[in-house]
Amino acid sequence: MEEIKKPDVINQYTGEKWYYSDIVKEHFFKPRNLLLEKPAREDEFDAHGIVGSPACGDMMEMWMKVDPGTERVKDLKWKTFGCASAIAATSMYSVMLTENGGLPIAAALKIRPQDVMERLGGLPARKVHCSVLADKAFLKTANDYFRKTGQNHRVIVSGSRVVDSRFNITDKDIEEAVLEGARTFEEVQQKLKVGVGASDGVRTDVEALIRFYSEKYYG
């Protein structure tokens, strides 16, 4: 008789069952490149980035050391206030950027959250957004490196665009809704009230963003 696998976590409010791969558990219990204390010296690393806020629960700080000749990521340290999925995803992310001599920064910036999830053997759907935190922190860190090395033309600016002026809903709000599990216009509208009483053009924009972010994070 086939053994029934027990869920690793059961959501106490919804009853949803979450299963974690052995790789996720390995990286959660033994995270790679974790830095619990801030560097003793400011010049120990070449760049630094921080995203989020401890007040809202999700925060990540990252430090990077770069080979100046090749721009390869020689070392990447991090710490986070986050859940098991965020810790495991960031641990794997740091490995992917530093293994085999390190990725050049340009290549590292192309690593997608779904690439990390593939190496982890997947994450529960409700936890996919946790894999994005490392991606955002590294972007901040890379931009810090570009500024410090006088490469301001390479700084990547990610702004927000208002898609529904009545409720001041931006493309970033749509992104967050998709990361939280919304897949259709109706599901996003339920979360954000976007498009209520608006023109068909707003719905078209929102549906295009849902497709874009669904593809970006879920493939």
Catalytic residue among 59, 130, 163, 209: 130
83 is a catalytic site residue: no
56 is a catalytic site residue: yes
Strands laid side by side in the 59-66 sheet: 47-52, 59-66, 73-81
Beta strand extents in 125-218 (DSSP E only): 162-164, 169-170
Count CB-CB contacts under 10 A for residue 138.
27
What is the token pair recorded at 110? 């192309």
The span from the CA of 204 to the CA of 17, in Å, is: 34
> Is 129 within 8 Å of 180 (Cβ atoms)?
yes
Residue type, 129: H
The span from the CA of 187 to the CA of 195, in Å, is: 12
DSSP 7: P
Catalytic residue among 56, 110, 157, 186: 56
The span from the CA of 117 to the CA of 129, in Å, is: 11
Q: Which positions are catalytic?
A: 56, 130
